[in-house]
Amino acid sequence: MYLLKKQFAKFAASGMVGFVADSSMLYMLLALGLGWYVGRLLSFLSAVFVTWRINRRHTFPQGDRPASWSEFGRYLLAMSAGGACNYAAYVLALRLLQVPPSIKPLLGVAVGSLAGMVVNFIGAKWWVFHRRRAA
């Protein structure tokens, strides 16, 4: 149980870094003229890549294994399940929050990140980074 709590704490810390990457990318894309919704889809992908790199090395280390695109593909697929929850909560927050438009995307990303975190942790721990036993 201790390992699970420790991994979840590291996963949450990785998520905070991902939140910064996601929000920063979103605001850059907004400045380039993309809207709240398309920009968010693209910024999510940047956060997935950043958190994959952190989680594979620090949250779920498995020795000295090289990064693989198939692992990233599994990670992206797993994060997409939580990403659906994340995006739905983001859209809902944009529509319901009565705050200045300049901070709506930031708060929406925060709400969305929290909404998808548990789903993402389950997918990462028990599918993407699950240690396979030798037969």
pLDDT digits (tens, 9 = 90+) for 116-131: 998 999 999 988 887 6
> Is 66 within a domain?
yes
Phi-psi region of 33 (alpha: psi -120 to 50; beta: other; left: phi over 0): left
Domain encompassing residue 77? 2-128
Residue 94 pLDDT > 50: yes
> Is 109 within a domain?
yes
Task: Report the predicted TM-score, pTM, of the whole model to 2 decimal places.
Answer: 0.83
Count of structural domains within the chain: 1
> Is 134 within a domain?
no
